[in-house]
């Protein structure tokens, strides 16, 4: 059996009892290491599990998945995923490959950022489509997610922004030359994401767009290390979020839509500027 096991968001103990029992008896245990990261390294996992963990980087998962699936029909293989196994489309692809090879599989779910963001007080059923924000370069500044934010905001819904992670990435030069030299890991901060969001609306203004999806005063929520003992939450206007330092990764960002009174009351616990929520549209006015 091939098992896809969610690890949750915090530390090694966040794995479920069912997941831990499978890990302890599996023939091989892989840790997917590029769609997200735990707050601890694989050494801590090995210490807690009492067995070896094989790191499965992007290259292995996307180009050499057969080595992971090998023997999956005759023995138990555990594929560990930070958060929930279905938090990234890559894992759906793995399941399809297993199906095509007639390898049976099971999924052990866990908490992910997709539901844990409720810790800030915003109600999960009032979120629209989730978007991803990637690191910009001088030559490449994608903003296709802007239309999704606009659609969510027009419907009064919140937008969860998943921020870019660069782990074991190659520079264009080394990629072209075929050199296996990797760049240092980089993790996007809420301030970096906010700066890019501000640049997008400046461009939209320059193009004469009078109906912006959001403005400098739109309330956002920055989250750091959700699920850990030292998680941090801040609610602030976008202009302030562009300068805030939330500390070490991982970060997530929420662009708020209309606020239910209970949501507003909860966010008041995390504001830096008193009164910054006053301009938010209450849910009652849109019903």
CA distance 170 to 174: 6
CA distance 114 to 116: 6
**pLDDT for 186:** 87
**pLDDT for 182:** 65
pLDDT surpassing 60 at residue 287: no
**pLDDT for 175:** 62
112 is in an annotated binding site: yes
87 is in an annotated binding site: yes
What domains does the chain contain, in order, with CATH numbers? 2-111 (3.40.1010.10), 114-268 (3.30.950.10)
pLDDT surpassing 90 at residue 131: yes
Question: pLDDT tens digits for 10-36?
Answer: 788 999 999 999 999 999 999 987 667
Query: Residue 285's pLDDT band (boundaries 50, 70, 90)?
Result: very low
Q: What is the mean pLDDT of the chain?
A: 88
**pLDDT for 184:** 75
Question: pLDDT tens digits for 133-147?
Answer: 999 988 889 999 999
Q: By percentage, how much of the chain surpasses pLDDT 70? A: 92
Instruction: State how far Cα 281 lies from the chain centre.
Output: 27
Question: pLDDT tens digits for 186-195?
Answer: 899 999 999 9
Grouping H, G, I as helix, E, B as strand and the rest as coil, residue 16 is: coil
162 is in an annotated binding site: no
pLDDT surpassing 60 at residue 95: yes
For residue 165, the surrounding DSSP H or E stretch is: strand 165-166
Whether the link from the prior residue into 207 is cis, omega within 30° of 0, is no
**pLDDT for 174:** 61
Task: Please report the beta strands in 51-155, taking only residues with DSSP state E, as ranges in sequence order.
Answer: 54-56, 77-81, 105-108, 131-133
**Token pair for 204:** 């939209």
Question: pLDDT tens digits for 39-59?
Answer: 677 888 999 999 999 988 777
- What phi and psi, each to the nearest 5 degrees, are found at residue 8? 75, -165
How large is the average pLDDT for residues 102-117?
Answer: 94
Contact 81, 37 (CB under 8 A): no
Q: By percentage, how much of the chain surpasses pLDDT 90? A: 62
Give every CB contact of residue 243 below 8 A, 6+ residues apart in sequence: 191
**pLDDT for 185:** 78
The pTM of the full predicted model, rounded to 2 decimals, is 0.89
**pLDDT for 92:** 86
**pLDDT for 58:** 72
- Name the least confident of 4-13, 32-41, 90-99, 175-184: 175-184
Q: Which residue has the tokens 């939450």?
A: 233
């Amino acid at each position: 059996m091939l098992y896809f096991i969610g690890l949750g968001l915090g530390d090694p103990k966040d794995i479920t009892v069912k997941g831990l029992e499978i890990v302890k008896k599996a023939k091989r245990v892989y840790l997917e290491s590029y769609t997200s990261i735990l707050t601890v390294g694989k050494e801590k996992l090995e210490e807690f599990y009492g067995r070896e963990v094989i790191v499965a980087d992007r290259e292995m998962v996307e180009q050499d998945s057969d080595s992971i699936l090998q023997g999956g029909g005759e023995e138990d293989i555990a594929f560990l995923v930070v958060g929930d196994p279905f938090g990234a489309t890559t894992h759906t692809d793995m399941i399809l490959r297993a199906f095509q090879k007639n390898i049976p599989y099971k999924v052990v779910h866990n908490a992910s950022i997709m539901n844990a963001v409720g810790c800030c007080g915003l109600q999960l059923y009032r979120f629209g489509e989730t978007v991803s924000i990637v690191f910009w370069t001088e030559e490449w500044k994608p903003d296709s997610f802007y239309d999704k934010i606009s659609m969510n905001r027009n419907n009064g819904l919140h937008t969860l922004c998943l921020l870019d992670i660069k782990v074991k990435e190659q520079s264009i030069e080394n990629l072209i030359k075929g050199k296996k030299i990797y760049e240092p890991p980089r993790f996007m901060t809420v301030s970096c994401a906010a700066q890019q969001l501000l640049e997008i609306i400046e461009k939209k203004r320059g193009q004469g767009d009078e109906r912006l999806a959001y403005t400098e005063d739109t309330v956002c929520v920055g989250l750091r290390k959700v699920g850990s003992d030292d998680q941090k939450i801040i609610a602030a206007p976008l202009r302030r979020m562009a300068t805030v330092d939330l500390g070490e990764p991982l970060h997530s960002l929420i662009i708020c839509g209309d606020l239910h009174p209970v949501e507003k009351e909860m966010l008041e616990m995390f504001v830096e500027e008193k009164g910054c929520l006053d301009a938010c549209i209450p849910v009652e006015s849109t019903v």
